[in-house]
Amino acid sequence: MKVRESYQNKKNFLIVLCTLVTVMIPVYIVWDTGKSMAGCIVGAACLFLDGMVYWLHRMDRSYITGVVQELSDLLDTLMELTEREVFPETEDTMLSKLQGNVVKLIRRMRHQNEMTRQDQERMKGIISDLSHQLKTPLANLKMYSRFLQKEELSEKQYREYVDIICLSVERLNFLSENMIKISRLETGLIHLKCQKNKISETVLKAVKDIYPKARHMGCEIIYREDREKELWAQFDADWTAEAIFNMLDNAVKYSENAQNKSIILSVRKLGLFAEISVEDQNGSIPEEEKNRIFQRFYRGENSEGKEGIGLGLYLTREIALRQGGYVSVKATEQGNIFSIYLRL
């Protein structure tokens, strides 16, 4: 507001000054020389100069109005998050530089909006999957808790209902623990500490954790590694051990009906990566399931009656990706090979 008042005051002062000059100079010349013709010529020249000044002022005002309109258009592109050339990009002017910064801001805001949209979609998917997974155990808890209130239950029925309730509670506990792990990874609450680690030590830690279950299922874990040179890679030892455990747990879990229960765990160098693979003899995964096997809560057609909720392989994939690696699965004649690749 003060800038506009100052500008108006200066403008009025210049108008008065030009008017005085235009009048006073011809009058002075006529008074000094006594020649009215000379006064008229000088007066005409002053009026011409005043006209030129007024014309330049109008041009300048029109130019400023045009620039303001173009700035308004530039702000419209910012509000609409659309990239449109308002000022020539080839000109090295402040307005062109301003437009370049606005375009950068638009791209950053569009990227941020896309990330927000993806987070919202991911959250919707998590809530949908979680509600689906909670539905069965909660229904069992509700139903069998009511059954236990009946006085005419036999000892056999009582134990059966209690066992079902215990299984439902275990499933809820398993679900909550894995969802906490996944949510911490996805939201960045946990930062993987990638540093040089010996792969064999991490692999053997995973084997130690799965060994009791493998022994109970009658599985034999065969470990193969290049003994000539120990492999080291950049990874978080604890989380990578979790990823390897999940692959081993998947192999042990589905070995119940397999004739050959041998599980081959191998480590080898593959270019710029170290490959840790788990080969089972549990029957090949159908081709159409391979692209979905690492999705959250996905369980294959042969998973009916098996423990688990479809989070183990998904967690393995997330751990690998957040360390600059990746995962894969390929079928063999008797089973499958699940692999995780870590940067050396």
> Which of 132-136, 175-179, 278-282, 302-306 shows the lowest per-residue confidence on average (mean pLDDT)?
302-306
pLDDT score recorded for residue 129: 64
* DSSP E strands, the chain: 195-198, 220-225, 232-235, 262-270, 273-279, 326-331, 336-343
pLDDT tens for 244-287 read 998 998 888 887 777 778 899 999 988 889 999 999 888 888 88
pLDDT tens for 308-322 read 667 788 888 888 988
Retrieve residue 41's tokens. 């010529």
Mean pLDDT of the chain: 79
Query: At the top level of CATH, which class does the domain 117-187 belong to?
Result: mainly alpha
Higher pLDDT, residue 303 or 39: 39
b/e burial code for range 88-115 (CB count within 10 A of at least 16 → b)? eeeeeeeeeeebeebbeebeeeeeeeee
Write the CB contacts of 327 (distance below 8 Å, at least 6 apart in sequence): 294, 313, 316, 317, 320, 338, 339, 340, 341
Higher pLDDT, residue 10 or 309: 10
* CATH placement of domain 195-343: 3.30.565.10
Name the most confidently modeled range: 48-57, 168-177, 258-267, 304-313.
258-267
Q: Where are the domains of the chain?
A: 2-80, 117-187, 195-343
